[in-house]
Amino acid sequence: MRLSTAVAFAAVLSISTEANASGSYSNSILSPSFRYTFVENTRKSFVSDEQGQEYMAEHDRDLKVRFLGFQARAEKAIAEAKRAGTPLGPYDLLLPAVRLPKAGQVGKLDKKAYPLNLVLDVSTDDASARFELTATRPWTAAQLTSLTTALKALSHKRPNNEYSDERTKREQALIDGAGFVVPLAVTHVEASFGLYVGTTIEVAGAEKGRVLKPLQALLDKLVPLLRAKFSQPDAAAQLQLAGLGAVGAAVEKHPQGLPGAFHPWGPLVSGELIRIEVSLGGASAILMISPVGAYEWPKVHPVMSAWLEEGLVDPHRALIESEAERLSGVER
């Protein structure tokens, strides 16, 4: 059962030193044409982890119900904008996103940087919210402003606060039917290393196949490059390790098995496994090894990072990131 409005409000009031958990709700959900991200502006304090989990679960349900309510209309608005001439493609979660302080700056992006992901800010007073869409060619400021206005009107409405057990069950059934999955990833494990390519964005069941294709393609590209690195006779020495243990065996002994070992929210060092992570737009690549003997993490980390990042070098991605940085300041 959901907390009543009065009880929920009282439960999350700021509490002094007795509070042992705090946070604000946020989530990001994928749709065929866009990524929607919501971040609650207010940070809450809770008297227990259980209270915090209940609060987050309630807000998660609210956001997903609201997303499922406006998703089809947002897709329609995007399709109409495309028919009207706004150059759009299916959302590409591996492209960097460009967030512009002013709509007029969109015309100053280097044409060679396309395709790229554009951020459309639909924030309200109580929450930061944004759509990310894949622009295939340059936009005009009018196109950016028009579509932002349309999407904000569709997505800003918050859920009704009059809760009931019946409504909660109906909404949960709607969410269960969507089959959201997070994280969604592909993995590869061999003798000396393990590799994960996945996303922490919520993905509906119907979208799994489409999302997994580019993740698998990137994994397939990285595996032979990393295999060549770890096959070098002095691979362990380059990593300043006494040796490289069997990653598969270490994963099997991990309390949560393979998914837990690769968990995108997990620690860099866990038992017999250490790893590094590189963000790629809406996804992450994680490289994991099992070191033999004692090691110094500051010495191992740079080499692991360099090996993984070498396989991720992309001039197009670098140009997008450079353009985003160049236009990030407010024009004077």
pLDDT tens for 275-294 read 899 988 889 999 999 999 99
Same domain for 196 and 271?
A: yes
What pLDDT, on the 0 to 100 scale, is given for residue 165? 80
In the chain, how many domains are there? 2
Question: Which of 178, 204, 225 is the last residue in one of the domains?
Answer: 178
Question: Which of 147, 178, 209 is the last residue in one of the domains?
Answer: 178
**Residue 53 binned pLDDT confidence (cut-offs 50, 70, 90):** confident
231-257 as b/e: b if 16+ CB within 10 A: eeeebbeebebeebbebeebbeebeee
| Tens-place pLDDT, residues 205-244 | 999 999 999 999 999 999 999 999 999 999 999 999 999 9
Place of tokens 């196109």: 143
Range of the domain at 216: 185-318
- Rounded to whole angstroms, the Cα distance separating 275 from 224 reads 18
- Rounded to whole angstroms, the Cα distance separating 198 from 211 reads 9
Please name which of 192, 180, 195, 184 lies closest in space to residue 262, comparing C-alpha atoms: 195
Residue 23 has pLDDT above 80, yes or no: no
Pick the residue with more confidence: 253 or 306? 306
Same domain for 214 and 305?
A: yes
What's the pTM value of the predicted model, to 2 decimals?
0.85
Angle among Cα 108, 140, 67 to the nearest 5 degrees reads: 110
Please name which of 137, 130, 100 lies closest in space to residue 116, comparing C-alpha atoms: 137
Same domain for 272 and 146?
A: no
Same domain for 139 and 221?
A: no
Tell me, yes or no, whether 71 lies in a domain.
Answer: yes
- Rounded to whole angstroms, the Cα distance separating 279 from 312 reads 10
Helix 208-230 crosses helix 297-310 at what angle (to 10 degrees)? Answer: 120
| Tens-place pLDDT, residues 102-119 | 999 999 999 999 999 999
- Rounded to whole angstroms, the Cα distance separating 208 from 198 reads 11
What pLDDT, on the 0 to 100 scale, is given for residue 161? 62
Tell me, yes or no, whether 124 lies in a domain.
Answer: yes
CB 117 within 8 A of CB 132: yes
Question: Which of 131, 159, 178 is the last residue in one of the domains?
Answer: 178
Amino acid at 167: R
Same domain for 66 and 153?
A: yes
Residue 16 has pLDDT above 50, yes or no: no
Contacts of residue 4, Cβ cutoff 8 Å, sequence gap at least 6? 163
Least confident of 91-95, 134-138, 254-258, 313-317: 254-258
